[in-house]
Structure 1
Amino acid sequence: MYQVKRISHSEFVPIRNLQYHVRVWGEPAPDKTPLVIVHGWMDVAASYQFVVDALSHDHYVIAPDWRGYGQTPSGGVDNFWFPDYLADLDFLLDHYAPNSQVNLVGHSMGGNVAMLYAGVRPQRIRRLVNLEGFGLPATTPDEAPGRYAHWMDDLKKLHRGELALKAYDTVDGVARRLMKTNPRLGLDKANWLAQHWAQQDAQGKWAILGDPAHKVSHAQLYRLEEVQAIYARISMPVLMVEASSDSMGQWWKGKFTLAEHHERLRVVPQLEIVRVEDAGHMLHHDQPKQLAELIERFL
């Protein structure tokens, strides 16, 4: 089992009619800029434990479980709207840093949330680190009818139970699933993560702590012009961290490429792009020490 070096504690914060679970490492202090780190799709805040352990300085780290993940409830909804993540983050910062800036780190979906939030509320962010948050392929208005139809079809699948997440007989089964998804993940880390990524239900099964409604497709189009307008307002320095394994190539099969992503980022005024070797999309699991060094150097 992985041996934790820095112990976290849980806090539950009232945010927009939800009791948001927030994992906190360290203590606030006048000389510390809060380090807010947000996770990606089908992940949890505890996923950053390895990076926090690798930090060389004593940071005040704040990591929420997004709505419908980990120990944060979903509020009974049957689909999730991306703007809610921005609003949740805004309320979270009102709670933890009402009168100060924060350093913001986001992975994957969380990286996309962080980028949009930084353009909408640039005054609240001192430094921004985006870990493999690439955005989505551009869409055109003629795709709207099909997108709405797909969304409604997914809602029906959800209510028929067709999008349910698999439950596992043992926590070891969860760990093995994590290792299958990420071959670089060692057994010690997988065993530790599994206990935070799932919990035992009333039937004794280990259920993933992610609402299946997250699998419902978005009804709205990804409007690139809007995203670019927001990116152009990102006034703080930005560090874009990419893994050596080309996640985008695997996902989009040429529909959206890393080169296109870099072209979009040209509107960000202060941008640095770095690559982490021997890492896949879950680079905070694969190379936590290298990533911690990059983050601290940038901050």
Structure 2
Amino acid sequence: MHRSWQFGHQGRRLAVMEWGDPRGVPLVALHGWLDNAASFTLLARLLPEVRLIAIDLAGHGLSDHRPAGQPYYIWDNVAEVQALLDTLGLARVALLGHSMGAGVASLFAGAFPERVSQLFLLDGLAPLDYPADELPAQMAQALLKSGRLQRRALRPYASVEQAVRARMGGRWPVSREAATWLLARGLREEAGGWYWRSDLALTQPSVVRLCEAQIAAFLRRLTMPVLLVMAESGIGLARVEPLSGLVPQLELKLLAGGHHLHLEAVPAARIARWIGERLQA
């Protein structure tokens, strides 16, 4: 059983899910791109003694969208994590992040290392970057694509079952049970059918991204213990290995599984055990 609540940040409502013992060690969890807080349902069930707190980042799940025309930059998510911790009165906490959420967690921990006791990162380490000398061309391309995307209309699903099947067969497939968890917060019904709740603007390319030198500066400040768990069939070690050596106390583990390995029974059990052991140490 989970608990749901909301808090205000910069005039918007951000939604939160909590599981486990309210008196347990708090673990704040950050989901991946186009997912939502329900992404951590299985881990929460495997860690009943932990107070697992997962936020729907802006534009995802039950959280409000950003105003029309305001881009979704990953550093704005850092401010949302700060606001969540301040709302909870948590001066220092362990962070868990998956994919995009892992990048957000690394940025937050690099900016505020005194507020993070441990980092648990799942199939992701740092945000995507734009090489500095490629930024002008990338910016032009992103702006042109954004104009076309803004004119695109969403097609509804005729039923929840159709949406579940679509989510199961997406770029990063998940099980039927996992898809059902995600869609419980990820779908809305309107006249004509079922639509994704997530902001369509999230699918627009970034006009600006951090460059590798800036990301490296954040990673060097991760002075807390960092457990990085990569999936054999996930985003690929080649993306993170060049950066992993910058993190002073990083432990890397590789597990059989897909990008959403924390929603697969066998790897999730291993991840939960590692998290539990480290939180109790």
TM-score (norm 1): 0.85
CA-CA distance at 1:134 after TM superposition: 4.0
User: Which residue pairs with 1:281 in the alignment?
Assistant: 259
212-221 or 191-200: which moved more?
Answer: 191-200
| Matches for 1:237-256 after TM superposition, within 5 Å | 237-248=225-236
Point out 4+ residue stretches in structure 1 off by more than 6 angstroms: none
Corresponding residue for 1:54? 46
Partner of 1:229, secondary structure, is helix
Q: Is the 8 A contact 2:39 2:181 kept in 1?
A: no
- The 2-side partners of 1:87 and 1:298 are apart by 26
The one-letter code sitting in structure 2 at the alignment partner of 1:123 is E
Which has the larger strand fraction?
2
Q: Which one-letter code corresponds to 1:115 in the other structure?
A: S
Residues 1:214 and 2:202 aligned together: yes
Aligned residues: 276
Distance in 1 between residues matched to 2:60 and 2:109, nearest whole Å: 23
Which residue number corresponds to residue 270 of structure 2? 290
Helix, strand or coil: the match of 1:267?
A: coil
Question: How big is the shift at 1:124?
Answer: 0.6
Q: Deviations over 1:112-144 (max 9, x none)?
A: 000111111001111100111143665433312
Do the aligned residues in 2 keep the contact of 1:130 with 1:240 (CA within 8 Å)?
yes
Q: Residue deviations 1:237-264, cap 9 Å, x none?
A: 000011121423xxxxxxxxx2452231
Counterpart pick for 2:66 among 75, 79, 82: 75
CA contact (8 A) 1:108 1:134 kept: yes
Tell me by how many angstroms 1:282 deviates.
Answer: 0.7
CA 1:293–1:208 in structure 2 vs 1: closer, same or farther (change >3 Å)?
Answer: same
Question: Is 1:14 equivalent to 2:15 in the alignment?
Answer: no
- Separation in 2, partners of 1:47, 1:165: 23
State the distance in 1 between where 2:181 and 2:260 align.
Answer: 15
Deviation (angstroms), 1:193: 3.4
Q: 1:144 aligns with which of 116, 135, 140?
A: 135
Instruction: Tell me which residue corresponds to 1:37.
Output: 29
Distance 2:147 2:171 in 1: 31
The residue number in structure 2 matching 1:228 is: 216
Deviations 1:188-209 (A, max 9, x none): 44334332321212x1511112
- 2: CA distance, partners of 1:192 / 1:64: 15
Q: 1:212 to 1:228 in 2, by over 3 A?
A: same
The residue that corresponds to 2:84 in the other structure is 92
Cα deviation digits, residues 23-52 of structure 1 (max 9, x gap): 1123533xx331100101000101211111
Contact 2:187–2:194 (Cα < 8 Å) also in 1: yes
Q: What residue in structure 1 maps to residue 19 of structure 2? A: 25
In structure 2, how many angstroms separate the alpha carbons of the residues matched to 1:220 and 1:135? 15
Structure 2 residues not aligned, in runs of 5+: none
Structure 1 position 153, deviation (Å): 1.4
Cα RMSD over matched residues?
2.0
- Given the superposition, is the C-alpha separation of residues 137 and 111 from structure 1 closer, same or farther in structure 2, using an over 3 Å criterion? closer
What TM-score do you get using the length of structure 2 for normalisation?
A: 0.91
Cα separation, partners in 2 of 1:106 and 1:206, compared to 1, 3 Å: same
Deviation sequence 1:142-168 (CA, Å, 0-9, x none): 31221221222133123212xx44421
- Counterpart of 2:186 in structure 1 is 197
Q: Deviations over 1:4-38 (max 9, x none)?
A: xxx11211101122111111123533xx3311001
- TM-superposed CA distance for 1:272, in Å, is 0.5
Distance 1:61 1:134, change over 3 A: closer
